[in-house]
């Protein structure tokens, strides 16, 4: 595996690996034809896998894991790069013969929507960055758990993944849950005026592999 950073380990919720497939259908999108799979994890949360082509028993399947961000994905917030990351992944994998985009229901890095908006308020009123705002609310920097994602990939049957990510914790958690990451594919969006500090915090405080030299006007 290439381009992997070492982070302090955090506990894996092993029950999150247990997912069941609830429903499957074809899903035409502006990015191409996908097959949508809905999975339910042990906590009752519903997650989605969009697949292209036959990924079963295949090596080096292109995979993007995207965590839900209502403000970015649905409302086009400029505070983050989430919608651009999601659409960039759909466009890239939609142009390939096979691949997987996972959409994981863990809003606000796992702290939920209401708490994420509370963190936004702390950014505005106290000048806290993403990490310090989470800490001020009593949370860790990042509470996301990728056990469910690993369970989904196991049920989809791929042998190894080329993972589109800038986050080394995703690589670590997948491998600790038995998913082999053959290669990291950088997935960096251009920084804008409203999210440049947010992306810098990701790089400097959360060890995300970002160059921060791609900037919008």
Of 138 and 65, the one with more pLDDT: 65
Q: What is the pLDDT of residues 90-148, one digit of tens each?
A: 999 999 999 999 999 999 888 899 998 998 889 888 888 788 888 888 888 888 899 99
pLDDT at 189: 63
Q: Are 123 and 129 in contact (CB under 8 A)?
A: yes
Q: Is 126 a catalytic residue?
A: no
Mean pLDDT of 174-192: 85
Q: Which of 142, 145, 172, 184 is catalytic?
A: 142
Check 64, 144, 172, 184 and give the catalytic one.
144
144 included as an active-site residue: yes
What superfamily would CATH give domain 19-106+145-205? GTP cyclohydrolase II (3.40.50.10990)
Q: Could you tell me which residues are beta bridge partners of residue 183?
A: 162
The strand pairing partners of 65, in sequence order, are: 102
Domain boundaries, the chain: 19-106+145-205, 109-143
Beta-bridge mates of residue 19: 41
Please report the beta strands in 53-177, taking only residues with DSSP state E, as ranges in sequence order: 61-67, 99-104, 160-164
- What is the pTM for the complete model shown? 0.84
Give the pLDDT of residue 15.
Answer: 57
What is the average per-residue pLDDT within 61-75?
95
Res. 55 pLDDT band, cuts 50 70 90? very high
What secondary structure does DSSP assign to 150-161, as a single string? HHHHHHHT-SEE
């Amino acid at each position: 595996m290439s381009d992997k950073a070492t982070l302090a380990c955090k506990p894996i919720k092993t029950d999150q690996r247990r997912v069941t497939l609830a429903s499957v259908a074809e899903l035409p999108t502006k990015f191409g034809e996908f097959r949508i799979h809905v999975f339910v994890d042990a906590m009752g949360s519903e997650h989605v896998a969009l697949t292209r082509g036959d990924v079963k028993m295949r090596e080096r399947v292109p995979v993007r894991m995207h965590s839900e961000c209502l403000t970015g994905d649905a409302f086009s917030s400029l505070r983050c790069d989430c919608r651009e990351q999601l659409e960039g992944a759909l466009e890239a994998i939609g142009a390939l013969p096979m691949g997987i985009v996972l959409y994981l229901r863990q809003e606000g890095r796992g702290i939920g929507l209401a708490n994420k908006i509370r963190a936004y308020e702390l950014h505005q009123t106290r000048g806290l960055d993403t990490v310090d705002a989470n800490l001020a609310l009593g949370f860790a920097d990042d509470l996301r758990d990728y056990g469910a994602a690993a369970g989904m990939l196991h049920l989809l049957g791929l042998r190894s993944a080329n993972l589109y990510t800038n986050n080394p914790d995703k690589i670590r958690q997948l491998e600790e849950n038995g998913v082999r990451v053959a290669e990291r594919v950088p997935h960096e969006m251009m920084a804008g005026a409203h999210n440049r500090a947010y992306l810098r915090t990701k790089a400097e405080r959360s060890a995300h592999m970002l160059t921060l030299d791609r900037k919008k006007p």
